[in-house]
């Protein structure tokens, strides 16, 4: 989705900067953007879970192109295994990419936005940030943290720089390949989302300063269920197949996506 967001922003006239940990993929996406839009895209090799790299590369970006107006944090990994089968290193990597990277990139680029009282920070979270899911303990926890990060950041910015906007994106499973093999018991209520549809909503939210994207709309029911007794809450999520959705998960090797 980071690739598609970059393409769409470039089509709208934006100057795009991409970060990735794979140089070949970075070069491919930059070339694709230039072919499709006629605009140059700037790529930087960076592991967004490494704060030293983030700060160093951010300084290079500011020196080369000036302050950043829109930060889209889309890097993500998923392990997709029961917690007792998760190696410690994978748990640490999940939080490094899905959660801590949000802090490092924000600290790198927010100061200029706050100084100008203008800018936009987009946090790609997940519907798993609303409800814990079996075989997604590390992923769900990292996305709950992402939702909390955006909410706290939004509160701080209302006090210090109200012109800087934030958007948190909480989609159900998206057909990017990252969650290949997942299934929905009731696809009309909880469809596997098309990435183009999610990207269109993200770009629209940036243009219209919308604070939150939740897809599909049925995910909004989860907070309303929180006051229910735990046994009833669990029974409802089981009925809708939430905790069976990962049983046939295949994924694509838990690869990371472009980071900003």
Average pLDDT over residues 72-78: 95
> 246-255 pLDDT, tens per residue?
999 998 754 4
Tokens of 206: 């940036």
How much of the chain, in percent, has pLDDT values that exceed 90?
96
pLDDT the model gives residue 59? 97
Mean pLDDT along residues 121-140 = 97
Model confidence at 202: pLDDT above 60: yes
Q: Following DSSP, what letter does each residue of the chain receive, concatenated?
A: -HHHHHHHHHHTTPPEEEEES-HHHHHHHHHHHHHHHS--EEEEE--TT-HHHHHHHHHHHHHHH---SEEEE-------S-GGGS-HHHHHHHHIIIIIHHHHHHHHHHHHHHHHT-EEEEEE--GGGTS--TT-HHHHHHHHHHHHHHHHHHHHHHHH-TTEEEEEEEES-BTTTTTTT---SSTTTSPPBPHHHHHHHHHHHHHHT--EEEESGGGGHHHHHTTS-HHHHHHHHHHTTGGGTTTT---SSSPPPP--
pLDDT for residue 141 is more than 70: yes
Chain-wide mean pLDDT for the chain? 95
Please tell me the least confidently modeled range out of 128-137, 174-183, 239-248, 250-259.
Answer: 250-259
For this structure, is 130 an active site residue? Answer: no
What's the pLDDT band for 258 if we cut at 50, 70, 90?
Answer: very low
Q: Per-residue pLDDT tens for 24-39?
A: 999 999 999 999 999 9
pLDDT at 259: 42
Compute the average pLDDT of residues 137-141.
Answer: 97
| Whether pLDDT at 180 is above 90 | yes
Residue 257, pLDDT > 80, answer no
CA distances from 136 to 64, 97, 182 (A): 39, 15, 12
Structure tokens at 195: 């990435």
Centroid of chain to Cα 55: 20
**pLDDT for the residue 53:** 97
CATH of domain 73-244: 3.40.50.720
At residue 252, the pLDDT reads 77
Q: Where do the structural domains in the chain lie, given as residue ranges?
A: 73-244
Look at residue 253 in the predicted model and tell me its pLDDT: 55
Checking if the pLDDT of 227 tops 60, the result is yes
Catalytic residue among 44, 55, 130, 139: 139
pLDDT band with cut points at 50, 70 and 90 for residue 105: very high
Instruction: Enter the tokens of residue 185.
Output: 């018991």
- Whether the per-residue pLDDT at 23 is higher than 60: the answer is yes
Average pLDDT (217-229) is 95
Q: How confident is the model at residue 200 (pLDDT cuts 50, 70, 90)?
A: very high
């Amino acid at each position: 989705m980071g690739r598609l967001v970059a393409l769409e922003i470039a089509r709208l006239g934006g100057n795009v900067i991409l970060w990735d940990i794979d140089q070949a993929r970075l070069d491919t996406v930059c070339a694709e953007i230039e072919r499709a839009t006629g605009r140059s895209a700037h790529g930087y090799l960076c592991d967004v879970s490494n704060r030293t790299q983030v700060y160093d590369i951010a300084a290079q970006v500011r020196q080369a192109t000036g302050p950043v107006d829109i930060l889209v944090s889309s890097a993500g990994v998923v392990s997709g295994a029961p917690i007792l089968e998760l190696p410690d290193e994978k748990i640490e990597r999940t939080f490094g990419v899905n959660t801590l990277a949000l802090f490092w990139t924000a600290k790198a680029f927010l100061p200029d936005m706050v100084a100008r009282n203008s800018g936009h920070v987009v946090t790609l979270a997940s519907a798993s940030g609303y409800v814990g899911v079996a075989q997604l303990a590390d992923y769900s926890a990292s996305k709950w943290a992402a939702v909390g990060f955006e909410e706290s950041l939004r509160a701080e910015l209302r006090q210090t720089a109200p012109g800087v906007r934030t958007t948190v994106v909480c989609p159900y499973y998206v057909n990017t390949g990252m969650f290949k093999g997942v299934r929905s018991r009731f696809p009309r209520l909880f469809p596997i989302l098309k990435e183009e549809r999610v990207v269109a909503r993200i770009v629209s939210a940036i243009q219209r300063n919308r604070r939150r994207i939740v897809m599909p709309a049925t995910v909004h029911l989860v907070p309303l269920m929180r006051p229910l007794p735990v046994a009833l809450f669990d029974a409802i999520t089981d009925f809708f197949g939430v905790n069976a959705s990962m049983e046939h998960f295949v994924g694509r090797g838990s690869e990371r996506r472009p980071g900003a």
